Structure 1
């Protein structure tokens, strides 16, 4: 008798804990995408389309990417990046997992997106303040809590003058403490969302969608604008 497949969320947590035990807190991404590439795992957040909150933002804001550059953080298999590229942006999308980048290129063989392997915690110097639009969806919350401040800072550092940052994340209520999170993911607090902002990168819009499964969590889309 064939054993039932491991639940994708359980599998991702197991791989993360294995990496953490080896003092490699970001290595589980490659383990997961490599296993998925071999048909041995499922990436829990791979939707096969752009995130609905990103699509909704596009329909509402109607951004024109003509002559502009965009960066998609932790792009995974590329669905969000392809949606952004369709708006006319010259789009760079990166992931720390080489297998994720390879899968994105396979899924979108005629893509105009530049898919790259890179580390959010140590991004290429030429990306600093270089993009008119930066999109971050679920990447920071997939990192252990002690790495989240550095990752948050690096996301904002890639937004250029006059540029926009769109952050989509699961947010926990104030009653849920860091110690209660088993992860991954490690959902952000409201303060964690606010931390993307700086003196010249201001929060201009915050939309919240309650979770249908738990009153202590919600999906949040935050839009920031750099002076």
Structure 2
């Protein structure tokens, strides 16, 4: 498997080497709430790569049926401890996001720092998973990490975090599978000095034969 392994992430959490951790949820969640862009309370929401659990807790506090997913045992333990401390109810599952499947279709997925933590070789599989998880009309609340490095000019792929170029994201989550809002997209500052682009995508209704990435409509 290319990219970071479970042991890599486990060691980061055990040693407290988590510079991406804000110590709280992303401010963009509150911004989406203020814009009335969040689903109705009680909606089923997944937070893949939930890390320390700040965003799982934030969704739970707002009355959502939340499931946090992470394959690092230390991350799962942190999230469960946070929920316990705050007396919040949410499911937390130790699983690989590339293999996990919800028991029923989700209303929303909150994608924040999971995609950029996966090596790009796994992005197509991850995008396919998100499409399967969501019901038609469900929303993907995405924070695409903008972490372009100078080495990119030499064709190098460096990370994590891996740079989620917005052009690549359009190819990864293409029309007609996903409805994209018009830019510009909100910039969300990141503690490590980079920024994220906040985009809400809607999973379109499935056609009789669902299009695959890169295929024309009706193919």
Q: TM-score range by the shorter chain?
A: 0.7 to 0.9
Q: CA deviation at 1:68?
A: 1.8
1:59-82 CA deviation, whole Å, 9 max, x = no partner? 212535334211111111111111
Report the Cα distance in structure 2 between the residues aligned to 1:197 and 1:151, rounded to whole angstroms: 14
Greater Cα shift, 113-122 or 179-188: 179-188
Q: CA deviation at 1:149?
A: 2.0
Q: 1:203 aligns with which of 177, 180, 185?
A: 180
Q: 1:86 aligns with which of 53, 56, 61?
A: 61
Show the counterpart of 2:100: 123
8 A Cα contact 1:72 1:135, kept in partner: yes
Show the counterpart of 2:201: 224
Report the Cα distance in structure 1 between the residues aligned to 2:155 and 2:161, rounded to whole angstroms: 13
TM-score when normalising by structure 1: 0.75
Show the counterpart of 1:112: 89
Show the counterpart of 2:11: 31
Q: 1:160 aligns with which of 135, 150, 158?
A: 135
TM-score when normalising by structure 2: 0.77
Show the counterpart of 1:12: none
Show the counterpart of 1:52: 27
What SS does the corresponding residue of 2:181 show, helix, strand or coil?
strand
The number of equivalent residue pairs is 198
Change in Cα spacing, 1:198 to 1:31, as seen in structure 2 (3 Å) is farther
Unmatched runs of 5 consecutive residues or more in structure 1? 1-19
Correspondence 1:97 to 2:72: yes
8 A Cα contact 2:102 2:133, kept in partner: no
Change in Cα spacing, 1:156 to 1:54, as seen in structure 2 (3 Å) is farther
- Over the residues paired in the alignment, what is the CA RMSD in angstroms? 3.0
